[in-house]
């Protein structure tokens, strides 16, 4: 969406502003997006790896924590290592 200044600039140059085509609202786009909730987790060094239908998701975590499992929602559970 163009603001008033951009439209004014196009008018001063004698050029028709480009038309906009709405592809859907933010809510429609979010609803149609594939959810990437991993279905399994593993820890390699300090890399937390979640397996999804579209591939791996990787996240670096502090080396002071280890993965101990996942909760009922599928989110990872960590435990802090006390030395």
Query: Please, what is the average pLDDT of the chain?
Result: 86
**β-pair type (65-70, 55-60):** unpaired
| Percent of residues in the chain assigned helix, strand, coil, to nearest 5 | 20, 35, 45
pLDDT: which is higher, 28 or 45:
45
Catalogue the long-range contacts made by 47-55 (C-beta closer than 8 Å, 24 or more residues apart).
48/76, 50/76
**What pLDDT shows up at residue 20?**
76
- Looking up tokens 């790896």 gives 49
pLDDT at 23: 74
Q: How confident is the model at residue 45 (pLDDT cuts 50, 70, 90)?
A: very high
Structure confidence at residue 48 (pLDDT): 94
């Amino acid at each position: 969406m163009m603001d008033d200044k951009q439209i004014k600039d196009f008018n001063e140059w004698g050029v028709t502003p480009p038309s906009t085509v709405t592809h859907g609202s933010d809510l429609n786009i979010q609803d149609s997006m594939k959810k990437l909730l991993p279905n399994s987790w593993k820890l390699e060094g300090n890399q937390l790896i979640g397996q999804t239908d579209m591939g791996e998701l990787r996240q670096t975590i502090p080396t002071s924590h280890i993965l101990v499992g996942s909760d009922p929602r599928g989110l990872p559970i960590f435990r802090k290592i006390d030395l």
